[in-house]
Amino acid sequence: MYVAVKGGEAAIANAHRLMADRRRGDRSVPALRLDQIVEQLALGVDRVMSEGSLYDRELAALAVVQARGDMIEAIFLVRAYRTTLPRFGYTNPVDTGAMQIERRVSATYKDLPGGQVLGPTFDYTHRLLDPELAAGADVEMPAQRPVEAEPMPRVSAILAHEGLIEADGEMPLDHVHGDITREPLQFPMARDIRLQALSRGDEGFLLALGYSTQRGYARNHPFVGEVRIGEVELELDVPELPFAAPLGSIRVTECQMVNQFKGSAKAPPQFTRGYGLVFGQSERKAMAMALCDRALRASELGEDVVAAAQDEEFVISHSDNVQATGFVEHLKLPHYVDFQAELGLVRRMRAEYEARENEDKAAEEKREAAE
């Protein structure tokens, strides 16, 4: 027999009304505008776009406000929204070599064409809280240096000349590009599909795994060959135009990780590579993605799979924070019937256990009395 228990509609409606009130907070404080969030919480917006896997600043800002600043809830909202839209197609692959550079650093070469360009970075700040910012002090305009524009080739292209580094990752000619938004995950998976999953993966999860490789769990001797941040052009091939339709530009962060590799039965000693490419300005995420990408290539390069970061099924199955939060958080929803069943089972097992204990005790006493 199954008895459905209904109820809670009024409680739910009032709870959501209360949540909306608490979200708005003190009415004497001005409400946040989306453009304030886009402009002044830009890296939070970037994270929501990256892990929500949808590039749209205003939507990401709306999600941040709606979620009261809960990033994973905001990411969830963006993911849900994108399922409501039709898909026009796949863009042509972006050319990160032609990026309008806003930051570009290399830890492997001091002097490289284009140079080390720091851009708007937290690096070298003292991480001291700034009371002037709290007081809303005026901020000076940035310095300008009017110099000739110079090309900034990717560092991987410079290194390639000596033949001591892997080429950019190619797939077999007959490879069909996978898309995790269209087909369920299957293991083992090709590197292109893995990269798609990593690019939308949870920053904290990938950061922890990347860190674990540095601490010795699948050590692979990484150097940052290059991190670059800037805008790249998007183009879409459409049947109604005789050329690729220009869509505008998006900001991305790219990380080329270079890893020393002593060689194996499958590959000679050389520098191998891990790659990271994410929406927005997020070099922590791009670097963590590149570390994980390299670790996950263990089988391809003939390395022993000994650590969590090298385990494709473990990493990719748990990198999506929308899936993770859904499964963890569903535990708080009513499980009354499941729990009643479990309670009945545990009561019965406990009764059997106690009956056995009593029997054993009685037998023991009987034996002692006999002696």
Residues 35-74 that bind other proteins (CB under 8 A): 49-50, 53-56, 58-59
Q: What is the residue type of 252?
A: V
Query: CB count, 10 Å around CB of 14?
Result: 10
Q: What is the smallest separation between the CB atom of 135 and other proteins, expressed in angstroms?
A: 25
Per CB under 8 A, 279 contacts other proteins: yes
Question: Which residue in 254, 276, 302, 261 sits closest to 206, CA to CA?
Answer: 276
For the segment 329-358, give every residue that binds other proteins (CB under 8 A). none
Residue appearing with tokens 């535990």: 331
Both tokens of residue 106? 């290399």
CA–CA distance, 299 with 221 (Å, rounded to integer): 17
Q: What is the smallest separation between the CB atom of 330 and other proteins, expressed in angstroms?
A: 26
Number of residues counted as binding other proteins (CB under 8 A): 84
For the segment 86-115, give every residue that binds other proteins (CB under 8 A). 86-94, 96-97, 100-103, 110-111, 115
Q: What is the smallest separation between the CB atom of 113 and other proteins, expressed in angstroms?
A: 12
Choosing from 169, 189, 221, 301, the residue that interacts with other proteins (CB under 8 A) is: 169
Residues sharing a CB contact under 8 Å with residue 260, sequence separation 6 or more, in sequence order? 220, 221, 223, 271
Query: CB count, 10 Å around CB of 271?
Result: 19
Question: Which residue in 181, 257, 272, 267 sits closest to 224, CA to CA?
Answer: 257
Q: What is the smallest separation between the CB atom of 76 and other proteins, expressed in angstroms?
A: 15
Q: Which stretch binds other proteins (CB under 8 A): 26-34, 84-92, 132-140, 318-326?
A: 84-92
Per CB under 8 A, 319 contacts other proteins: no
Both tokens of residue 92? 């042509």
Per CB under 8 A, 241 contacts other proteins: yes
Q: Which stretch binds other proteins (CB under 8 A): 18-26, 63-71, 131-139, 178-186?
A: 178-186
Residues sharing a CB contact under 8 Å with residue 168, sequence separation 6 or more, in sequence order? 156
* Residue nearer to other proteins on the CB measure, 217 or 221: 221
For the segment 116-145, give every residue that binds other proteins (CB under 8 A). 116-120, 142-145
CA 132 to chain centre: 33
Choosing from 4, 10, 29, 149, the residue that interacts with other proteins (CB under 8 A) is: 149
Sign of CA dihedral 240, 246, 250, 256: positive
Q: What is the smallest separation between the CB atom of 119 and other proteins, expressed in angstroms?
A: 6
